[in-house]
Amino acid sequence: LVRERGIKDPTHPRYACRRAKPSDGEVAGYGTYIRVHLQPRRFPAALRTDWSKRVVEGLDSEHYVVIDKPYGVGVPPTVDNAEENCLHMTRRVLGLEDLRITHRLDQPTSGVLVLARTKEFASYFNGLLARRDGSVRKHYKVFTRREVPRGALDEEGVLTHYARVGVRAAKSKTRTVMYDEDAEGRHVCKLRVLGSEAVVDGGGKVQGYETEVVLMTGRTHQIRAQFAAVGCPVVGDTVYDGRGEDSARYREGEFEFLEKIGLQACKMAVKDESSSPSPKYFPAQGIEFSALSDPWWRVELS
């Protein structure tokens, strides 16, 4: 990253750091500040994935591409790693340098991810997500050791909490904290449980429960935080399951970060029923995108 010295005006177009590329030629002039990351965080899953086989939809579209994101890879670049991410790897394999992010999935989560080919589609899809009127329905499969208690749900199968987002305690990661009651500064969080079934290994032993949910609101770490709040933390989640086996191994330094957790964005249904004269990028009857593969726990525990 480079930033030229002597520019003090924050609104100056050259004030912010920019990422230097080998193709840029001579970018570091006299007095330039250069930051070098000697030990960047690596994401090995990005390199072992065949990204050409992760495309769900959109090869013939001028507006978007949908991929089945693998676990262990972030969506955007990180400050110290510009290449091992979904955006860069999809750009490279498809030759689409103008791909844009429309929404995100957590690094250890897999599943359906929509990327925009144009600025116009990115703006349109962001608008659909912001409406929160059911135009975009996100379905997830959640793997937990315990089944979600029915008493935590209302008569329609809805789990409701009120969240404070971005809470950071001493020596811990930023997290979302769930409460049963509303109060100033809290945001309502709702998801609907569609069904749950036991996950059985090859020997017939129950290893946990797979629950399908659909998000009714969209908050940071919403599913992970809500499931933990009712005593059913997502398998492998070292942030919200502080007493779990994986969390203990993480604290002891056995691994830097966990590549996968029991969470898959299995399906996304999109239907724009607005009367807006803006371009319609999807069929009037709507469209569904589904993950190409089973969640990892179905593969590894079968």
Residues with a catalytic annotation lie at: 106
Cα distance between residue 8 and residue 208, in whole Å: 56
SS3 174: coil
* Cβ neighbours, 10 Å, residue 193: 18
Tell me how far apart the alpha carbons of residues 226 and 299 are, in angstroms, rounded to a whole number. Answer: 26
For residues 194 and 214, the answer to whether their CB atoms sit within 8 Å is: yes
DSSP one-letter code for 250: H
Q: Can you list the alpha helix ranges (DSSP code H) found in the chain? A: 44-48, 86-94, 119-131, 222-229, 245-251, 296-300
| C-beta separation of 103 from 113 below 8 A | yes
C-alpha 124: how far from chain center: 19
SS3 165: strand
Distance CA 68, CA 54 (A): 5
Note whether 194 and 223 are within 8 A (CB). no
Least Cα distance to 138 among 66, 90, 74 occurs for: 66
CB 164 within 8 A of CB 179: yes
Structure-token pair, residue 215:
């998000």
Rg over CA atoms, the chain = 21
